C-alpha cells in the first residue's frame, strides 16, 4: 500500500471522502499535525496531541477525546504495514451549512493520512538546505501564526517561490524584520558555542522538534537562548540548522545564495542530530 | 431542493465528494466567490469571475476556462429550481500528494453550492447591523488579505466572537490602526455628504459590491473618496453602511455598543440601497 487515508474511522483511499460542506474545506477551519512514525508508532504523539489541543482552544474547535486520535493513527499505520512512515492527522470543524456560522457544524471530521517516509535528498546532510528569505512577512498580529491550521497557503506559496529560485526552503522574517522560521521548520544558529533560536513569543509555530532539540541541548550541556535576531546574525553564525517533525535536525547551508556557517554540517548540528537520531532509534525499538 | 452541490460537473449533494488529498482541504489552497442569483442568474457573474482570475494569478492557481464556471453555476441553479439563491463557486488546486508540493496536483476541483437566498433579519434595514471592533488586525503585509481564498479562518473567528458579544459583525482595523473592513463586508461612511471608504490599497478585500456602490455614487452625483481613516471617524460620521454581494447595501447602526450615524438608515444609505435594488430588479427581469 502506498498511501492510507482514513476519514472518521473508515478507510477511504484517495477517492471522495469529504463533504464539500465541510467547513475545513470551505473556510480552512481545521488543524493538523505531521509526524514521523517508526516501528509502526508515531514519534512524540502525546506532544503533537497536546499542541493540537492548544490550537483547538485558540480557534474554538471542539475535539474528540485524545484516545480516539491515538486509535485512528494506530489503525492507519497497521493498515499501511509501514514501519517508517509520514503521518498527518487532520481535524476540521465538520459538515455544516454553507456560510460563516460554524455552530451549524455537527461533529468534527478526523482524517489520518499515512504514506512511506519521504527520504530527504542526501545533499541536505552534506551541503545543508538552501533557503531564500521570503518576501512574505510572518504577521505578529495574527492569532493563527502560532497555530498549525489548514490556513496554510502562505507557507505553500513561499515554498513554491523558493523552488522557483532553485532553493529548498523559504525563511520568513517577522513584520518587525527579525528572523522567524522557515515554512515548515524552526530555525537555530550557533554563535560562539551558544545555540540561538527565535523566541516562541514571536511569530513562529512552536515546533515539537524545536522543543525536543532545546531539551537535547540541555542534555548535551550546550548553552542556548531564545531571542529576537536580525537576519544578519545568521550570516555571522558559526553554523545554522533547521528542525521539523518529519526530518529532525538538518543543517542550513545557504540563504539567498550566501553561505551560512563555517562548516556544514557544523559540530553542534552534528551533535544534536546524533542525539535526535538516538531518540528515534530508541523509539523504533520501543525503548522510549 | 434545499441545497445543490456540484463537484467537477457532477451533482453530489452534501455527502462525500472531495478527496482528503485535495490541497484545498489539506492547505486551504483555493479561491471562492459568493454571489446572489436572481431570476435564476448570478448577479455580476463576470466581475466575480474576473476577481477569481486575479486571485488565481496572485496565488498561482491554474483555472479552467471561465465559460466552464458559467456553465457549472447555471447547471446548479437550474437543478435547484431557485429564483432567488445564494451561490458559492469554489476552485481548489485539486488532488495531489500529501505534502507542500502543489505541482503534484493534477487538475483543479470546481465546486458550486446553491441554496435559497438567506433573508437578512428585518432589523438590519431598520436599526442597522450591530458590529464590534475585532481584536484581530488585518495584516497589511499578507498577500492573501486582498484575495478571497479558503484561508478564511480569521474572518470566521472574528464573526463568532462578534456573535458572542451580541453583535452581527466584526470590523477589522489594519495593523496601522485604521479602519479596514468587516468580515465579509466593505465599509463606507458619510461625512458632510461625502461617501468615504477605506482605500483598496489597504488591507481589504476589494468587494464587487463596493465597486458597484462607487459607480452608483457617481450616477447619483455623490462625492466619494477612498482614504485612510482612524476608527473615530466612524463615530463622527453622519451615517455608515456595509456592502457585500449577498446582501447589497445595509446600514451600520452601532459599533461596540456606540451608535453610528444620526439616522439609521441614513439618506445616502437609502439612496444607494434603492439604486442597488433597482439594478437587482433589472437583473431579475433580464433587462441588465
- Asked if B100 lies within 8 A of A149 by C-beta distance, the reply is no
For residue A149, CA distances in Å to A56, A98, A210, B28 come to: 9, 20, 18, 9
- Residue A288 half-sphere exposure, CB side, CA atoms within 13 Å? 18
Distance (Å, rounded) from C-alpha A53 to C-alpha A56? Answer: 5
B27 contacts: CB under 8 Å, gap ≥ 6: A150, A152, A153, A155, A156, B100
Distance (Å, rounded) from C-alpha B156 to C-alpha B184? Answer: 9
Report helix, strand or coil for A177: coil
- Residue A73 half-sphere exposure, CB side, CA atoms within 13 Å? 28
Mutate which: B7, B90, B98, vs A, most A CBs within 10 A: B98
Query: What pLDDT is attached to residue A1?
Result: 63
Cell 499505520 belongs to A77
Please, which residues 4-33 of chain B have a Cβ atom closer than 8 Å to chain A? 5, 7, 12, 14-29, 32
pLDDT > 70? residue A120: yes
B284 contacts: CB under 8 Å, gap ≥ 6: B38, B39, B83
The DSSP element (H or E) to which A46 belongs, if any, is helix A45-59
Directed axis angle between helix B45-59 and helix B66-80, to 10°?
130
Closest CA to B79 of B164, B4, B174: B4
Determine phi and psi for A128, rounding to 5 degrees: 85, 160
Residue of B nearest to A160 (CA): B101
Mutate which: B11, B28, B180, B205, vs A, most A CBs within 10 A: B28
Instruction: Summarize pLDDT for A261-278 with one digit per residue, the tens.
Output: 999 999 999 999 999 999
B181 contacts: CB under 8 Å, gap ≥ 6: B138, B171, B172, B187, B198, B203, B204, B205, B207
Distance (Å, rounded) from C-alpha B162 to C-alpha B188? Answer: 19
- Asked if B20 lies within 8 A of A7 by C-beta distance, the reply is yes
Query: What pLDDT is attached to residue A142?
Result: 81
Residue of B nearest to A173 (CA): B141
Cell numbers for A267, please give them: 559540530
Distance (Å, rounded) from C-alpha A30 to C-alpha A127? Answer: 36
- Asked if A18 lies within 8 A of B21 by C-beta distance, the reply is no
pLDDT > 90? residue B66: no
- Asked if B160 lies within 8 A of A15 by C-beta distance, the reply is no
Instruction: Summarize pLDDT for A255-265 with one digit per residue, the tens.
Output: 999 999 999 99
Q: Which of B17, B141, B184 sits opposite A139 (nearest CB)?
A: B141
Instruction: Summarize pLDDT for B218-252 with one digit per residue, the tens.
Output: 999 999 999 999 999 999 999 999 999 999 999 99
Q: What's the pTM value of the predicted model, to 2 decimals?
A: 0.96
Instruction: Summarize pLDDT for B122-159 with one digit per residue, the tens.
Output: 999 999 999 999 999 998 778 888 899 999 999 999 99
Alpha-helix runs per DSSP H in chain B: 23-27, 45-59, 66-80, 123-127, 153-164, 208-219, 232-236, 267-285
The DSSP element (H or E) to which A235 belongs, if any, is helix A232-236
- Judging contacts by C-beta atoms under 8 Å, the chain B residues touching residue A149 are 153
Query: What pLDDT is attached to residue B195?
Result: 98
Residue B244 sits at the chain A interface (C-beta within 8 Å): no
In angstroms, the separation between the Cα of residue B219 and the nearest Cα of chain A is 32
Q: At A288, is the pLDDT very low, low, confident or very high (cuts 50, 70, 90)?
A: confident
Residue B61 sits at the chain A interface (C-beta within 8 Å): no
Instruction: Summarize pLDDT for A11-70 with one digit per residue, the tens.
Output: 999 899 999 999 999 999 999 999 999 999 999 999 999 999 999 999 999 999 989 999
Q: At A184, is the pLDDT very low, low, confident or very high (cuts 50, 70, 90)?
A: very high
Instruction: Summarize pLDDT for B91-124 with one digit per residue, the tens.
Output: 999 999 999 999 999 999 999 999 999 999 999 9
Query: What pLDDT is attached to residue B11?
Result: 97
* Weakest mean pLDDT among B20-29, B38-47, B131-140: B131-140
pLDDT > 80? residue A140: no
This model of the complex carries an ipTM of 0.96
CB pairs under 8 A between A and B: 184
Query: What pLDDT is attached to residue B1?
Result: 63
For residue A239, CA distances in Å to A70, A92, A129, A137, B228 come to: 37, 39, 12, 24, 45
Q: Residue A228 CA to chain centroid, in angstroms? A: 21
- Judging contacts by C-beta atoms under 8 Å, the chain A residues touching residue B90 are 20, 25-26
**Could you tell me if A219 and A275 are in contact, meaning their C-beta atoms sit under 8 angstroms apart?**
yes
A220 contacts: CB under 8 Å, gap ≥ 6: A271, A272, A275
Report helix, strand or coil for B271: helix
pLDDT > 70? residue A131: yes
User: What integer is the mean pLDDT of A116-133?
Assistant: 97
Amino acid at each position: 500500500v502506498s498511501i492510507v487515508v482514513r476519514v472518521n474511522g473508515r478507510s477511504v483511499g484517495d477517492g471522495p471522502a469529504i463533504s464539500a460542506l465541510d467547513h475545513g474545506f470551505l473556510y480552512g477551519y481545521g488543524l493538523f499535525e505531521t509526524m514521523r512514525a517508526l516501528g509502526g508508532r508515531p514519534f512524540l504523539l502525546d506532544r503533537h496531541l497536546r499542541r493540537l489541543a492548544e490550537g483547538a482552544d485558540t480557534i474554538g474547535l471542539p475535539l474528540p477525546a485524545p484516545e480516539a486520535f491515538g486509535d485512528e493513527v494506530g489503525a492507519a499505520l497497521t493498515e499501511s504495514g509501514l514501519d517508517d512512515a509520514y503521518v498527518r492527522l487532520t481535524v476540521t470543524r465538520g459538515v455544516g451549512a454553507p456560510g460563516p456560522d460554524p455552530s451549524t457544524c455537527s461533529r468534527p471530521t478526523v482524517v489520518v493520512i499515512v504514506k512511506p517516509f519521504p527520504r530527504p535528498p542526501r545533499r541536505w546532510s552534506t551541503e545543508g538546505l538552501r533557503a531564500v528569505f521570503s518576501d512574505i512577512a510572518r504577521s505578529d498580529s495574527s492569532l493563527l501564526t502560532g497555530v498549525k491550521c489548514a490556513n496554510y497557503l502562505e507557507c505553500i506559496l513561499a515554498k513554491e517561490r523558493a523552488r522557483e529560485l532553485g532553493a529548498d526552503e523559504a525563511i520568513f522574517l517577522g513584520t518587525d524584520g527579525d528572523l522567524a522560521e522557515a515554512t515548515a521548520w524552526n530555525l537555530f544558529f550557533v554563535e560562539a558555542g551558544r545555540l540561538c533560536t527565535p523566541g516562541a513569543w514571536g511569530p513562529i509555530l512552536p515546533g515539537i522538534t524545536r522543543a525536543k532539540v532545546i531539551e537535547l541541548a540541555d542534555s548535551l550541556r550546550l548553552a542556548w537562548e531564545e531571542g529576537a535576531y536580525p537576519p544578519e546574525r545568521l550570516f555571522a553564525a558559526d553554523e545554522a540548522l533547521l528542525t521539523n517533525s518529519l526530518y529532525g535536525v538538518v543543517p542550513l547551508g545557504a540563504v539567498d545564495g550566501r553561505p551560512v556557517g563555517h562548516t556544514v554540517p557544523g559540530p553542534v548540528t552534528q551533535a544534536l542530530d546524533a542525539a535526535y537520531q538516538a531518540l528515534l532509534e530508541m523509539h523504533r525499538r520501543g525503548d522510549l
